[in-house]
Structure 1
């Protein structure tokens, strides 16, 4: 009798284990699929966001004044991305815009530092140039004064008889 019960119990145990493993496996697969879909959606939204960003940048490029159009640019970005991805939430738009702004601005700090250094060099060269021009003018005046003195001495010695 025990020989008849053991195969039934082991078959039931194996069936339960299979159901449990399948449930855990299905949950893992579903999470992986959701993760991949989420990554795909993020990549898609980011790509669309970059396209929209470039459109907005081009639209405001010629009007650019420091900080003047920031609110208009944000509103334009939000409007255009909503037109292209109607299901996107305002929160997701904000996240995508901030990610794109971060990428777009990552080289601006170095560029700003380079411009500041270049400006300092131009200022120094301008000051050096002004100093050299003043020195040149002073030297020309000194040469002129020496030439006049030599000419006066020469004229005086020529007009003095017996010298």
Structure 2
């Protein structure tokens, strides 16, 4: 009976150690993600104005990788890449909505311009018809 109780106790303690290890890993990852977000914001601020989009993206990725590796040298390049993708995905999540709104606004402005030109054309035709009717 004591042997069975000891087995169960060892099993429970083993599971608690595994759980504690997982919690520590999650907290450590959260620390990495928080630091990665702060570094992303710093890099974003440094690269507001660049010549081309390609240069901007490559430079940002390189700068982000260098800064994150400097802060956490224990990370591998694969870890840094995963963190960069996670942070970029989270930060860029709301940007698609804004871009869609910008596209919709641009379309409305184009339609407004076309309608204004059509309105002017119709007014011109109306004035010609009125002048013709007045002459008769």
Q: TM-score, normalised by structure 1?
A: 0.73
Query: Which 5+ residue runs of structure 1 have no aligned equivalent?
Result: 1-12, 151-163
CA RMSD between the two structures: 2.1
Look at both structures and tell me which one has the larger radius of gyration over its CA atoms: 1
Match of 1:138 in 2: 125
Q: CA deviation at 1:141?
A: 4.4
After superposition, the Cα gap between the structure-2 partners of 1:64 and 1:101, relative to the gap in structure 1 and judged at 3 Å, is farther
**How far apart, in 2, do the equivalents of 1:103 and 1:64 lie?**
25
Query: Which 5+ residue runs of structure 2 have no aligned equivalent?
Result: none
Q: CA deviation at 1:91?
A: 1.5
Q: How many residues align?
A: 136
Match of 1:26 in 2: 13
**How far apart, in 2, do the equivalents of 1:65 and 1:134 lie?**
41
After the TM superposition, list the runs of 4 or more consecutive aligned residues in structure 1 that deviate by more than 6 angstroms: none
Indicate yes or no: 2:57 matched with 1:104.
no
Indicate yes or no: 2:14 matched with 1:39.
no
Match of 2:54 in 1: 67
User: Which of 58, 62, 75 is the equivalent residue of 1:88?
Assistant: 75
